Amino acid sequence: MSLFDKFQGIASVRRDLDELGIVPFGVVTERLLSATEGIVNGRRTILAGTNNYLGLTFHPECIETARAAVLEEGTGTTGSRMANGTYAGHEALEQELADFFGCGQAIVFSTGYQANLGMIATLAGPGDVVVLDADCHASIYDACRLGGCDVIRFRHNDAQDLEKRLRRLGERAQNALIVVEGLYSMQGDQAPLRDIAAVKRRRGGYLLVDEAHSLGMLGANGRGAAEAAGVEQEVDFIVGTFSKSLGAIGGYCVSHRPELELVRYAIRPYIFTASPSPSVIASVRVALRVMRAHPELRERLWENARRLYHGFRELGYDTGPEPSPVLALAMPGREQALRMWNALLENGVYVNLVLPPATPSHYPLLRCSVSAAHTPEQVERILGTFAALRRRASAVHDGPLSAEANAVSGGAG
């Protein structure tokens, strides 16, 4: 039994990809031209799978502030927050996040993944129970493994199933940690937070919401799904990332519970890793101010999302029940998904290819994430490329689309 036997499944997939001549993972952007365009495989390409929701990665003030921080404070902290890695900027950003969310407490992490990993694993240890949405992110599942807690999954976005499982816990439900995402990254659907908060009121427990993909996107002030649902005071912990709407890297947790400051001193992924570099902290602070001062960015994001959503629907794609800046198109099989993804890239449109088991269902997904920085012309170009590939598949056959051609174009027929 070799140490590497467990990777034979991956090796088989790699062989299949080699036979198709398609390399879908680890695509290299050779040069970035803007927040929405780059040179990929030597070709000018619209980037429609970056999670750069507000388009702030090239905001001139973010770049200038980051440059100044490098000159003044160097390229990195070379230490953890508990050692030598807490700078004035880290504390300032924590205060600004707490103010933005109207909370008393905030902690900044080096990545969003570590924010989930650290918070959940520290809050819920052996003998504790986490009740989580079945479609939660890998970082949430990994946090449960690290903490050694008992894990109970409830059906995706099903508050009734959540309540049933809490009811079965009896008195243990009072201390259960309920974990959901505000907006789910694969299919762009929102958690029913009003219903989930109501279940929490009836059954007890603590509620942690991962707002990684909903910060800057939802709510009157862009605070996320909890704000949009009007349940912020019933959410005990909000976790998020700087790598989506704020255009950098890092993570955070905010809470109205003063105990968060005690939790800080027990979070291993916080204590034993280097803190974010000064340039990252500086750019995030500016991006947060820009996001707060320019709600028109959020409006533009949703204009683009609605246009892309309705455009895909007109082409016959199944895009889910409502518009979202995350739009996932289900494909009937792996080979069809690979060929469609590759054809899009060859025609200058990059989207994410997601294969099972990373998808919520058994079907591969072509995942698009739109940005406020996409121009109307770029959105039309994305739709036009999908339409042209659909027509090309149809033209191969006489008469109506065959099942094979329709599958390659991703349509519903």
Q: Are residues 47 and 141 in the same domain?
A: no
Higher pLDDT, residue 126 or 19: 126
Q: Are residues 203 and 330 in the same domain?
A: no
- Strand 237-241, strand 37-40: pairing: unpaired
The pLDDT of residue 25? 81
Give the integer Cα–Cα distance in Å for 7 and 2: 10
Bridge partners (DSSP) of residue 325 are none
Q: What number is the average pLDDT over the span 67-72?
A: 98
Query: Please, which pLDDT band fits residue 358 given cuts at 50, 70 and 90?
Result: confident
Query: Please, which pLDDT band fits residue 396 given cuts at 50, 70 and 90?
Result: low
**Residue where a domain stops, chosen among 293, 310, 333:** 293
The pLDDT of residue 13? 83
The pair of structure tokens assigned to 11 is 């090796």
Is 105's pLDDT higher than 80?
A: yes
The pLDDT of residue 280? 98
pLDDT tens per residue, range 49-66: 999 999 999 999 999 999
Query: Please, which pLDDT band fits residue 395 given cuts at 50, 70 and 90?
Result: low
Q: Are residues 388 and 398 in the same domain?
A: yes
Query: Please, which pLDDT band fits residue 266 given cuts at 50, 70 and 90?
Result: very high
Bridge partners (DSSP) of residue 180 are 209
The pLDDT of residue 361? 73
pLDDT tens per residue, range 200-222: 999 999 999 999 999 999 999 99
Q: Are residues 45 and 77 in the same domain?
A: no
Is 269's pLDDT higher than 80?
A: yes
Query: Please, which pLDDT band fits residue 320 given cuts at 50, 70 and 90?
Result: confident
pLDDT tens per residue, range 164-212: 999 999 999 999 999 999 999 988 999 999 999 999 999 999 999 999 9
Number of domains in the chain: 2
Share of the chain above pLDDT 90, in %: 83
Q: Are residues 308 and 272 in the same domain?
A: no
Give the integer Cα–Cα distance in Å for 39 and 233: 45
The pLDDT of residue 362? 78
The pLDDT of residue 51? 96
Q: Are residues 167 and 256 in the same domain?
A: yes
Q: Are residues 130 and 264 in the same domain?
A: yes
**Residue where a domain stops, chosen among 223, 258, 293:** 293
- 405: CATH: 3.90.1150.10
Give the integer Cα–Cα distance in Å for 224 and 102: 13
Q: Are residues 175 and 185 in the same domain?
A: yes
- 170: CATH: 3.40.640.10
Q: Are residues 320 and 223 in the same domain?
A: no
* Domain span including residue 76: 58-293
Query: Please, which pLDDT band fits residue 356 given cuts at 50, 70 and 90?
Result: confident
Q: Are residues 75 and 145 in the same domain?
A: yes
Q: Are residues 227 and 353 in the same domain?
A: no
Q: Are residues 40 and 82 in the same domain?
A: no
The pLDDT of residue 139? 97
Model pTM above 0.75: yes
Give the integer Cα–Cα distance in Å for 25 and 352: 9
The pLDDT of residue 393? 64
- Which residue, 143, 189, 157, is CA-closest to 321? 189
- Which residue, 98, 60, 12, is CA-closest to 290? 60
Helix ranges (H only) for 124-219 are: 138-147, 159-169, 193-203
**Residue where a domain stops, chosen among 271, 293, 315:** 293
Q: What are phi and psi of 355, to 5 degrees?
A: -110, 150
Q: What number is the average pLDDT over the span 18-47?
A: 92
Is 293's pLDDT higher than 50?
A: yes
Is 408's pLDDT higher than 70?
A: no
Q: How many C-beta atoms lie closer than 10 Å to residue 26's C-beta?
A: 5
